[in-house]
Chains A and B, each alone.
Chain A
Amino acid sequence: MSTALAVHHGPFGRVALYNLDRSLALHAHREGHLIFHIQGPAASIRIDEDIYPLSGGQAVAISPWQPHNYMSLDHDEPSLFLTLYIKPFWFLEASRQANAALRFGRSPIDVTEQICRLSLQVSSAMLEDADDSFVAGYLYELTQACFDQSWQWVAEGATFTRCAPPVRDFRVRNSVKLMQHRVSERIVLDEIAKDSGLSRPHFYKLFRQQVGITPNIYLNTLRMESALQRLTTSHDAVTDIGLDLGFSSQASFTRFFIANAGIAPSDYRRVVHFAGVA
């Protein structure tokens, strides 16, 4: 069973220490995402169409809305990962360097001595309940070091990612808005398609083309965001949160949450810590 050792929420976004022993479903985040292997067997991750190792020597950077799924290679022994979900605007303000969308140049990040040291410092600061400004400070440095490296040329793979164009089709923009409004209802994507003025196949095709991910993954991201928000800022029962998001039972909500985050919602709620300062 995968578990969470520590989760911090703050102005930077979220950062978590997860012990993972199972694979996750394909998903995406609004935030810039970094994953560092801390201990245990190596694993791998699929980002878009490519598979990258997750080991002591290699971390990965995932740009906002880039679909990915973690793949556990050893189901007997869990691996400990430090995972960052960095809000693009926090990094933009703090760094004066970043892409507004926190778009990384490429996914594989070579874990240099310095990146290794910083990832361990973030991890221990989280476990030791260090002053919040230390966690935020190390997080910033770690993000910056990885962001900068992702834009440096390397002999083995010199092509950089290209920026996704903005969503131009008004019907797709409309469908995004509808999903955001109706995330707390039991949403059926067919209805979203209809209300956006598109046939079902055309809706899927156009959405994928313009947003870069399927409407299902997009909707799952919205559900996860809503679930995380309520788990961490309210005392509502897990069952109620699941029902409000359109799940028929607590079991199906828990299964969905585990598939997307790796751990159970109650586990997440138990370990989360709020950092007050930037």
Chain B
Amino acid sequence: MSLISYVTKIHFAENVLEDALEAELERLGLCRPMIVSDNGTSRRNVLDRLLAAVPRPVSPTVYESGCCRATEEACAEAANLYLDCEADGLIAFGGAAAFNLTKAVALRVSHDGALRNYAGMEGGRPRILDVIPPMIAIPTIAGSCAETVGIAVVSLRDGSNVSFVSQFLTPRVVICDPTLTLDLPAGDTAAAGMDALTHCLETYISTAYNPPADGIARDGLRRAIAHLERAVADGGDLGARREMMAAALNGALANQKGLGGVHAMSHALSGVVSGALDHGATNAVLLPLVLEFNAPAVADRYDDIKREFRLPARASLADAIMRLRERIALPARLGDIGVVVGDLPRAATLAAADYANRTNPRHAGAHDYLSMLQAAL
């Protein structure tokens, strides 16, 4: 049922950043890359390390974006900077916001007209051509699962969230260096880790038929379950950091199989809620509810997942997720992370229209999502 393709070149090793970056900049012929970073001032050290790793005479420009989502405004601003400094490629450095924004900037600087015209929902896929500047993706959290994916999720000026989907939006190279995540605070580690776990779980039960993606997702799930608590408890545990980065990479690689209801709702909420919403924490709140909703449609796949959790066959998977969430101190309710009741109806409508909803194992409409969101508030 699927056409399966894994094409991105991936470096994965501790302390591989410096060597890999130099080699890849040379291979891609980049002299003036623009770095898009979402690490903020509190993690200035990781950006300093990246800048120190850029070999002479390459001269990078840095664009610092917000940490939660990519917006059309930021895209326009970064695209202007890209053109002003005559950049010849992009380095996405950070998490989902940096990856999404980098892909959107790459699209913006190579394609004319309104950004919306290229959105998947607007039939934009065939209009995205093979003229995108080269991108290198370097995650500094273990969890965005966007580094090997040809999708950019962007909030447009009118408040809607759209996805740009094209194989050409996939970064050419990914550099996974787990040492870049050693300084990530426990709360962010927990949220990012739950995001990675959710990616693996949702892709594993999605409707598409893609055996390699199933294997990758299940392996990622196993690594995340075994190491998430350790990475949260002791940020300096390099072994746990490495396993979590592997779980996140697996989540990204399995992404082509399609996500599900958790991501449909968290994409929708991020466009509706007025403040910044943590994507991983949102997923952690919603995951148990979606697991319950999908139960009649999934059959034996939950048994596979329970084995990874070392749960008896009759135990509840949703309960196991809730216990894990509690142990890593993530919030249990949407109300705890800034969602208010007035946000829910619009979020439910947007969730039903979201790409991720298409591959949820059970057909879900806006009313189904509204019930789940209300139960999660």
A96: Cβ under 8 A from any B Cβ: yes
Given contacts A113-B353, A114-B121, contact A144 B126 (CB under 8 A): no
Do A133 and B127 have beta carbons less than 8 Å apart? yes
Quote the shortest CB–CB distance from B318 to chain A (angstroms): 18
Given contacts A112-B352, A137-B125, A141-B121, contact A154 B362 (CB under 8 A): yes
Complex CA distance for A161 and B211, rounded to whole angstroms: 20
Complex CA distance for A149 and B353, rounded to whole angstroms: 12
B297: Cβ under 8 A from any A Cβ: yes
The number of inter-chain residue pairs (CB within 8 angstroms) is 85
Residues of A within 8 A of B123 (CB): 118, 121, 133-134, 136-141
Complex CA distance for A92 and B359, rounded to whole angstroms: 17
B279: Cβ under 8 A from any A Cβ: no
B292: Cβ under 8 A from any A Cβ: no
Within 8 A of A (CB), among B348-377: 349, 352-353, 358-363, 365-366
**Which of A96, A113, A118 is most buried by chain B, counting CB atoms within 10 A of its CB?**
A96
Residues of A within 8 A of B126 (CB): 94, 133, 136-137, 140, 277-278
The interface size bin for chain A is: 20 to 34
Closest chain B residue, CB of each to CB of A103 = B1
Complex CA distance for A277 and B127, rounded to whole angstroms: 10
A155: Cβ under 8 A from any B Cβ: yes
B120: Cβ under 8 A from any A Cβ: yes
Closest chain A residue, CB of each to CB of B209 = A99
A98: Cβ under 8 A from any B Cβ: yes
Residues of B within 8 A of A114 (CB): 121, 352-353
Closest chain A residue, CB of each to CB of B127 = A133
Do B207 and A152 have beta carbons less than 8 Å apart? yes
A97: Cβ under 8 A from any B Cβ: yes
Residues of B within 8 A of A96 (CB): 2-5, 167, 256
Contact for B1 among A99, A145, A155, A278, CB less than 8 A: A99
Q: How many chain B residues have a CB neighbour from A under 8 Å?
A: 31
Quote the shortest CB–CB distance from B317 to chain A (angstroms): 17
Do A97 and B363 have beta carbons less than 8 Å apart? no
B258: Cβ under 8 A from any A Cβ: yes
Residues of B within 8 A of A92 (CB): 3
Residues of B within 8 A of A274 (CB): none
Residues of A within 8 A of B359 (CB): 148
Residues of B within 8 A of A94 (CB): 125-126
Complex CA distance for A100 and B349, rounded to whole angstroms: 32
Residues of A within 8 A of B124 (CB): 137
Do B349 and A148 have beta carbons less than 8 Å apart? no
Within 8 A of B (CB), among A143-163: 144-145, 148-149, 151-155, 158
A74: Cβ under 8 A from any B Cβ: no
Do A153 and B296 have beta carbons less than 8 Å apart? yes
Quote the shortest CB–CB distance from B281 to chain A (angstroms): 27
Contact for B3 among A97, A136, A138, A153, CB less than 8 A: A97
- A: which residues have CB within 8 A of B? 92-99, 110, 112-114, 118, 121, 133-134, 136-141, 144-145, 148-149, 151-155, 158, 277-278
What 5 pairs across the A-B complex have the smallest Cβ distances?
A137-B123, A153-B297, A138-B123, A148-B358, A152-B363
Task: List 5 extra interface pairs beyond A114-B353, A136-B123, CB under 8 A.
Answer: A92-B3, A133-B127, A138-B123, A141-B121, A154-B362
Sample 20 A-B pairs with CB under 8 A, ordered by A number: A92-B3, A98-B1, A99-B1, A110-B365, A112-B352, A112-B353, A113-B366, A114-B353, A121-B123, A137-B122, A137-B124, A137-B127, A138-B122, A140-B126, A141-B121, A141-B125, A152-B362, A153-B296, A158-B296, A277-B126
